[in-house]
A = this chain, B = another copy of it.
Amino acid sequence: MTRHYQALIDHLSQISNLSRTNSLLGWDMQVNMPPKGAAARGAQIETISRIHHELLVSDRTPQLIEAATAELGTLAYDSVEAGVLRVAQREYELATKFPVEFVTKWAAIEAMAHDVWAKARANNDFKSYQATLEQIMDLARQRAAYLGYQTHPYDALLDEYEQGITSAHVGEIFSGHKDQLVELIAAISQHADRVDDRVLHQAYPIDRQREFGLAVTRALGYDYDRGRQDTSVHPFAISFSRDDVRITTRFNETWLNPALFGMLHEAGHAMYEQGSSAEFDHTPLAGGTSLGVHESQSRLWENIVGRSRGFWSWALPKLQALFPSQVGGVDLDTFYKAINKVQPSFIRVEADEATYNLHIMLRFELEMGLLDGSIRVADLPQEWNARFESYLGIVPPTDTVGVLQDVHWSAGLIGYFPTYALGNLLAVQYYNQAITAHPSIPEEITHGKFDTLLTWLNREIHQHGRKYTSEELTHRITGQGMDSAPYIRYLQHKYSEIYGL
């Protein structure tokens, strides 16, 4: 009865299996691979990527989509079948936008740029990276042209990560809360001495950090029968199926935060993938719908839950049991304030909740300017530093901790940064809906009970995988679009209390 649709599903599952296999090759490279295994691994990834691409762009894909569409007739928008056809069509279209020569050029610059960037960062030598970054920006403009856009090349790139959002919309959202963030941070700076986070900077043996992180993420609902945790230089979450979603952690022996909040963060990503509907596995509907929504899940668990007073009224005694000499004598209030210390700092990935979005806004402004030509690559360091001083009140002493800090541009990821900030906003919007539906959630969290919240997230977000776009999903849940007001209210409320503003 649905012969063509079944053939399409079979075809798409081959494509999915190739893509998941590539993910494993990548995961293993970062987690396990011995140092000298890189060259052969690169060749393996190249082979699997090429076969994946060939299968996706083969004539069979549009033929099967067309045949299945005709066969299925009119479908409800939110049916699985309609979702599969929509997302498969989009994947096919994105993959066929670029001529082969462009794909080759893009791959070549990607392969080369990482090392150039890494050396420039290590040597605080922006000049040595400048020509490469100029090439990358040229290619990014070409990429945008191939993808097509109406107003600004940025829109084309952003759409790959956050379907349907325009740079104008992001610009509005950002300018709608930038001043309030700057004000809040300035106010906090007046009372910086009210929070002391020295308790977090002590010797914390890694084995016990891991033990605590595993126990807490398991309590949240990350299913380790369908996941695992490993160590890597750059922490990440990755999915090989909804039943095999893994996280990695970077441990710091003398600072509790990176591994602890990193594990909560990555577990948030992982629970999203684990919650994707079982019937989506092997189809393009499996996984998370956009980077912004993905980030909303990681930030919700890391910050809204994991940096709340209620959470630590449950978790602190457990931490004290594992680290009696480090935190045995600390009270809840001191610990809660310590993990929420606000301090303008140079490095985005170490930024606190209040300053984080400002790090993103300046990158967004620079990317926009680089793409439309209003900012030259050569001027990036001073453009970076000027914004940094204006937004955060400090100036990076070197480019290493300034414009050179992120890997993204060297990997060709332009238009990616905003999704981090959008995730912060969405996290608060979604969480507010969850507690409207279940006012008991904050109280439950103080008892280490997280299943009401997780079940709500599963039902409203996770199970839908990629069936709805970020905007569709947000409208379904909140009745409106992305909005920075709840986020600002959340920060103002939280930090007024902590800093006694």
Contact = CB atoms under 8 A, between A and B. Distances in A.
Interface string A30-73: 00111111011101101110010000000000000000000000
Nearest to A43: B17
Nearest to A27: B28
A241 interface: yes
Interface stretch (A198-206, A221-229, A294-302, A341-349): A221-229
B282 A37 contact: no
DSSP class of A's interface residues: helix, strand, loop or mixed? Answer: helix
A282 to B, nearest CB: 7
A243 interface: yes
B37 A28 contact: no
Interface stretch (A18-26, A123-131, A438-446): A18-26
Contacts of A326: none
B244 A13 contact: no
B241 A40 contact: yes
B47 A243 contact: no
A44 B28 contact: no
A240 interface: yes
A25 B40 CA distance: 16
Contact of A28 (B14, B24, B39, B281): B24
A14 B44 CA distance: 8
A35 B228 CA distance: 10
Contacts of A32: 228, 230
A35 B40 CA distance: 29
A46 B17 CA distance: 9
A25 B21 CA distance: 7
Interface string A70-106: 0000000000000000000000000000000000000
Interface in A250-284: 281-282
A340 to B, nearest CB: 33
A40 B246 CA distance: 14
A242 to B, nearest CB: 8
B21 A243 contact: no
A41 B44 CA distance: 18
A20 B34 contact: no
A41 B244 contact: yes
Contact of A243 (B40, B48, B51): B40
B281 A240 contact: no
Contact of A225 (B13, B36, B226): B36
Nearest to A14: B47
B241 A34 contact: no
A305 B412 CA distance: 52
Contact of A33 (B46, B242, B244): B244
A36 B226 contact: yes
B34 A225 contact: yes
A357 B258 CA distance: 55
B37 A240 contact: yes
Nearest to A51: B51
A240 B40 contact: yes
B244 A34 contact: yes
Contacts of A243: 34, 36-37, 39-40
Contacts of A228: 32, 34
5 contacts: A34-B224, A34-B226, A35-B225, A39-B243, A41-B240
Given A24-B24, A40-B242, 7 more contacts: A20-B40, A21-B21, A21-B48, A24-B25, A36-B243, A40-B281, A43-B282
Interface of A: 13-14, 17-18, 20-21, 24-25, 28, 32-37, 39-41, 43-44, 46-48, 51, 224-228, 230, 240-244, 246, 281-282
- When A and B form their complex, which 5 residue pairs have the shortest distance between CB atoms, in order from nearest? A40-B241, A37-B244, A17-B47, A36-B243, A17-B44
